[in-house]
Amino acid sequence: MLKGIEMIGTLQKLKEEGVRLYCFRPDFGATDAVWRTVFEQYTRRCCAADRVALLLDLSAAEDGAEPLARLKDALDALGEDAPLVLTFAGEEPLLLAVLQLTDVLILTREERCLQLLNRLEKQPRILYGKDAALFARSEERQERDRFEVSVCVITYRSDPLKLRRTLVSVLRQTGCSFEVIVADDGTEDFARSEIEAFFASVGFTAYKILQAPENQGVVRNVYRAFSHAQGKYIKNISPGDCLYSDHVLADMVRFMEAGGHLAAFGRACYYQEEGRALQGSG
């Protein structure tokens, strides 16, 4: 739990990094139990790759031991994929200072929560804790189509060499903006640090790594990757597959834009490795 200057300093740093801050004063003792919806939606819709943080004001949190333990269990189950949660407690001046940095204030029906609105010089965006738009993708991203293409690399117990070959073919693309999302479906010894080191070695930062705590199946893994995509178009690819040329993504974008297409398919060139050479066939 953060207090005073430490909390404000942490939030200022997060803001500089472009993290979207949601502040919530849980209503643990209320029959409405808005806190339940907020906790469930946050852990279901958000992950570590999203630039969001949930700030919990526990200065008046009676009977909060069990709900907070439940939240901790949900975050622990997500492992490294868990979204950021920060807790703080203090006098009202601290809360007001926190709210000056907050992007979204999540309200309950409690009067003490509503009274805060009259004390703020600069009001953040207001959402009710049971609002259907809470933590929706449109709320999490200030730029819906930040990239022209999101390349989603779907992995599970993948060969490291094949994965690297795929990533190299993606990073060589020119002529359009793109991000890379590596979504792993619960590989026991998933080489996350090696993938991060590879991206760092070539100076590529527009990537996300999504890591499921356990195997959930291809469909769920693909859905999770797509739900975190910030590109106008999505290109799905598996380790070992490569983009045929350095302008495949740009060609795809031009084709989609010219025809107003929602989906498209391309031709495939199959290859096999002989010695150190790749032999292809159309």
Q: Give the predicted TM-score (pTM) of the model.
A: 0.57
Q: What are phi and psi of 265, to 5 degrees?
A: -125, 155
The full set of domains in the chain, from first to last, is: 4-140 (3.40.50.2000), 147-281 (3.90.550.10)
Instruction: Report DSSP state, residue 116.
Output: G
Q: Which two tokens stand for residue 123?
A: 């009001």
Pull the structure tokens for residue 62: 């009676």
Determine the pLDDT at residue 5: 79
Each residue's pLDDT tens digit, 130-177 = 887 788 754 444 445 689 999 999 999 999 999 999 999 999 999 999
pLDDT of 71 above 90: yes
Q: Which helix (H) or strand (E) holds 200?
A: helix 192-201
pLDDT digits (tens, 9 = 90+) for 210-231: 988 889 899 888 988 887 888 9
Which sign does the torsion angle of CA 31, 34, 35, 36 carry? Answer: positive
